Chain A
Amino acid sequence: MYKIVRKKVLNPTVTQMEIDAPLVAKKAKPGQFIILRVDEAGERIPLTVAGCNPDEGTVKIIFQVVGATTELLNHKEAGEYIQDFAGPLGVATHTDGIKNVCIVGGGVGCAIAMPVAQEFHRLGAKVTSIIGFRNKDLLILEDEFKACSDKLIVMTDDGSYARQGNVTVPLKEMLEAGEKFDMIITIGPLVMMKYVTLTAKPFDVPVTVSMNPIMIDGTGMCGGCRITLVQDGKRVTKFACVDGPDFNGYEIDFDEAMSRGRMYSDFERHAHQAACNLFKKA
Chain B
Amino acid sequence: MAINPKKHEMPTQEPQVRAHNFNEVALGYTAQIAVEEAKRCLNCKNKPCVSGCPVNVNIPDFITKIKEGDFEGAYSVINKTSSLPAVCGRVCPQETQCESKCTLGIKFEPVGIGRLERFAADWHNEHTKDKAQIPPSNGHRVAVVGSGPSGLTCAGDLAKKGYKVTVYEALHTAGGVLVYGIPEFRLPKAIVAKEVETLKELGVDIEPNVIIGKTLTIDELFEMGYEAVFVGSGAGLPNFMNIPGEAYKGVYSANEFLTRSNLMKAYLDDPQTPIMKGGKVAVVGGGNVAMDAARTALRLGAEKVYIVYRRSMDELPARREEVEHAQEEGIDFRILCNPVEILGYNNESDPRDPKNGFVKGIRCIKMELGEPDASGRRRPVAVAGSEFDLDVDVVIMSIGTSPNPLIKSTTKGLEVNRWGGIIVNEDGLTSREGVYAGGDAVTGAATVISAMGAGKTAAKAIDEYLSKR
Chain A-chain B contacts (Cβ-Cβ < 8 Å), number: 111
Q: Chain A interface (Cβ within 8 Å of chain B)?
A: 23-24, 27, 37, 41-44, 68-69, 83-89, 216-217, 219-224, 226, 228, 237, 239, 242, 253, 256, 259-260, 262-264, 266-268, 271
* Cβ contact within 8 Å between B249 and A263: yes
The one of A43, A262, A264 that contacts B264, using a Cβ cutoff of 8 Å: A43
Let me know if A222 and B238 touch, CB within 8 A.
yes
> Residue B253 contacts which of A89, A223, A260 (CB distance < 8 angstroms)?
A223
Cα of A256 to Cα of B358 in the assembled complex, Å:
11
B211 touches A87 (CB 8 A): yes
> Do residues B406 and A219 form an inter-chain contact, with CB atoms below 8 A?
yes
Min distance, Cβ B111 to any Cβ of chain A, angstroms? 37
Cβ of B215 under 8 Å from chain A: yes
Q: A41-B265, A242-B405, A260-B249 in contact; A86/B211 too (CB < 8 A)?
A: yes
CA distance A228 to B243 in the complex (A): 12
Residue with the highest number of chain B CB atoms closer than 10 Å, among A87, A222, A224 = A222
Whether the Cβ atoms of A44 and B264 lie closer than 8 Å is yes
The complex places the Cα of A89 from the Cα of B212 at a distance, in Å, of: 11
**Across the interface, do A84 and B237 meet the contact criterion of CB distance under 8 Å?**
no
**What is the chain B residue whose CB lies nearest that of A237?**
B240
Q: Which residues of A contact B253 (CB under 8 A)?
A: 222-224
Cross-interface CB contact of A222 among B216, B240, B249, B255, cutoff 8 Å: B255
Interchain CB contact under 8 A, A256 and B238? no
A23 touching B210 in the complex, CB below 8 Å, given contacts A221-B236, A222-B255: yes
Interface residues of B in 181-220 (CB under 8 A from A): 208-211, 214-216
Q: How far is the CA of A256 from the CA of B238 in the complex (A)?
A: 19
**Given known A259-B356, A259-B357, contact A220–B247 (CB-CB < 8 A):** no
Write the residues of chain B forming the contact surface with A, with a CB cutoff of 8 angstroms.
170-172, 180, 208-211, 214-216, 234-238, 240, 242, 246-247, 249-250, 252-253, 255-256, 259-260, 264-265, 272-274, 354, 356-357, 404-406
Is the CB–CB distance between A84 and B209 below 8 Å?
Answer: yes
Q: How far apart sit A223 and B406, CA to CA, in the bound complex (Å)?
A: 15
Cβ contacts under 8 Å, A220 to chain B? 236-237, 404-406
* Cα distance, A267 to B255, chains bound together (Å): 21
Q: What are 26 contact pairs spanning A and B, CB under 8 A?
A: A23-B210, A23-B216, A37-B172, A43-B264, A44-B172, A84-B209, A85-B209, A86-B170, A86-B208, A86-B210, A87-B211, A87-B215, A88-B215, A216-B259, A219-B211, A220-B237, A221-B180, A221-B236, A222-B259, A223-B238, A223-B253, A228-B247, A253-B247, A259-B357, A262-B249, A271-B274
Q: With a CB–CB cut-off of 8 A, which chain B residues contact A259?
A: 247, 249, 356-357
Chain B residues lying within 8 Å of A86, measured Cβ to Cβ, are 170-172, 208-211, 215
Give Cα A268–Cα B271 distance, bound, in whole angstroms.
11
Docked CA distance A276–B208 (Å): 30
